[in-house]
A and B are shown apart, each in its own frame.
Chain A
Amino acid sequence: MRKIISIVLLSIIAIGIILSIAEIPFGKPKMKVGKYYIDKGVKDTGATNIITSVVVNYRGFDTLGEVTVLFIAAVGVGAVLVTAEKKQKERVTEKASLVLSTGCRFLFPLILLLGAYIFVNGHLTPGGGFQGGAVIASAFLLFYMGCRWKRINKIKAQALESLGGLVFIITGLLGLIIGNYFMMNFLPKGIPNQLFSAGIIPVIYIALGCKVGSELAGVIDNMIEESE
């Protein structure tokens, strides 16, 4: 009986989604604002990656909200997993296999470098703070699997996280002070396609990459510590 009800409900939802999507022609622009971003994005912001110009410049305030959501999620994980008294007993460090530990030592710096490249070049090539931060966090995941006896310094990770958030907000507020709205692009825009261009976008993306990377690495650290 329950199965029948759930199938009926699911098919009703599916029909609703199909009816609402069927009207929209696939891939055609529906909104004028998208065309505006494509036409004027490079001139307005100096960033050749239009997605970055939307995420950090036109819709920068939304990005601040996303970062806040991520921060609250990380704090929640930390609050749930924190144990009243840290067990100081010796961790059972079962050694990882030779392939994994050697591969970890070889790949860890390279993956870190890739993550840093992604968020430093966020205004030129695909990617940005969130993607670079996630890549850095996955590097720390590999590190935890390969070299099990090592841990990141939690205090420094939290300091880096707070610093990233502060740089983001202070850059936004400087825009409010110098110009007349939050996150105004007050730095010179430079020549498009160069590393030092696009005003505040690289500053914010570097801060965001450090923040997201240390935050997700902290979440992984909490979870793996709890599982031991």
Chain B
Amino acid sequence: MIIVYLLVLLMLAAAIAASVFKDLLSAVIAACLVSLIAAILFYFLQAPDVAMAEASIGAALVTAVFIVAIKRTKRHEE
């Protein structure tokens, strides 16, 4: 049970980091971490279907879309 609380804390930290970082690439990776931990938490909550969708869409595809967008625009936020 303790691992779930640790994961929630890590997820909160990653979410805060995603909104604080000025380097947008790091922010996107932090958001990806949020999705990955959400997928693990869904698995612990006995929802493996949602966990699969979250891991593949939230962590892989959305991150790729954001990285492509950063490549076309600017990497650093003023």
Contacts and interface: CB of A to CB of B under 8 A. Distances in A.
A51 interface: yes
User: Interface majority SS on B: helix, strand, loop or mixed?
Assistant: helix
A115 to B, nearest CB: 9
B68 A223 contact: yes
Interface size bucket, A side? 10 to 19
B65 interface: yes
Nearest to B57: A134
Nearest to A228: B71
Contacts of A126: 48-49, 52
A220 interface: yes
Contact of A131 (B52, B61, B64, B72): B52
Contacts of A128: 49
Interface in A156-212: none
Contacts of A220: 61, 64-65
* Closest 8 A/B residue pairs (Cβ): A126-B48, A134-B56, A131-B52, A138-B60, A227-B68, A223-B68, A134-B57, A126-B49
27 contacts: A49-B49, A118-B52, A126-B48, A126-B49, A126-B52, A127-B48, A127-B52, A128-B49, A131-B49, A131-B53, A131-B56, A134-B52, A134-B53, A134-B56, A135-B52, A137-B61, A141-B60, A141-B61, A216-B61, A220-B61, A220-B64, A220-B65, A223-B64, A223-B65, A224-B68, A227-B68, A227-B72
Given A118-B52, A127-B52, A226-B68, 4 more contacts: A126-B52, A137-B56, A223-B64, A227-B72
